[in-house]
A and B are shown apart, each in its own frame.
Chain A
């Protein structure tokens, strides 16, 4: 089954404790992206990657890191989480190339930073 898988789905952590949210897709997509969703603010892009070893900042990259060492994986790293990073996070992927296409979203990861 074609899917985007995120882990963990739910996480409560404390300020400053490094964490990683993993994202994996099995559709051979070139393009992957991370969004955060907050009430009233919609979906805001954190980082995106057009292919392996190619990453770029989105609209709200502060406090986050990403890496794209393999085509299927795009982990989101919070080196020193803060309470303002409490949010619902979505990973998404699409075919890539020069034509923008459908984004396939993971199920979401709800993060709480105390």
Chain B
């Protein structure tokens, strides 16, 4: 089955700097790669996702890049703000003939933005 590795486990940046979180996956059939943000004491929420037919996707200060050949994808946050402080999870699916497939999550990255 799918295995997702996420690095780093913790990341501290100064406000205004950029943050990058990287993930690798093992199943070459995976075609959906979302990123979730979990603020302290809250539920995970989707912030951006990418499908395998594109290499990059942007939404304001966040972007995700995908390298299918190398089987890795990354989250980029520019001009970080204190409210970006949270745990971020990457995930990948494992397509099967039966249809919608479970997501396998990375272990998470705790991002701290220092004002």
Which residues of A are in contact with B by a Cβ distance under 8 Å? 30-31, 33, 35, 40-45, 48, 50, 58-59, 90, 94-103, 105-108
Query: Given known contacts A100-B93, A102-B49, is B105 in contact with A43 (CB within 8 Å)?
Result: yes
Query: Given known contacts A102-B46, A103-B46, A105-B44, is B100 in contact with A43 (CB within 8 Å)?
Result: no
**Pick the contact of A42 from B32, B99, B105 — CB < 8 Å?**
B105
Asked whether B99 lies within 8 Å of A97 as measured between CB atoms, the reply is yes
Residues of A with C-beta under 8 A to B45: 105
Across the A-B interface, the 9 shortest Cβ-Cβ residue pairs: A42-B107, A105-B43, A43-B105, A100-B32, A100-B93, A98-B99, A102-B46, A96-B100, A42-B108
Asked whether B43 lies within 8 Å of A102 as measured between CB atoms, the reply is no
Residues of A with C-beta under 8 A to B34: 102-103
Residues of B with C-beta under 8 A to A30: 100
Residues of A with C-beta under 8 A to B1: 59
Residues of A with C-beta under 8 A to B69: none
Kindly provide the distance from the CB of B14 to the nearest chain A CB, expressed in whole angstroms.
26
Which residues of B are in contact with A by a Cβ distance under 8 Å? 1, 6, 9, 31-32, 34, 36, 42-46, 49, 89, 93, 95, 98-108
Q: List 25 A-B contacts (CB under 8 A).
A: A30-B100, A31-B100, A33-B102, A35-B105, A40-B9, A41-B107, A42-B6, A42-B106, A42-B107, A43-B89, A45-B103, A95-B100, A96-B99, A96-B100, A97-B99, A98-B100, A99-B100, A100-B32, A100-B95, A102-B34, A102-B46, A105-B43, A106-B43, A107-B42, A108-B43
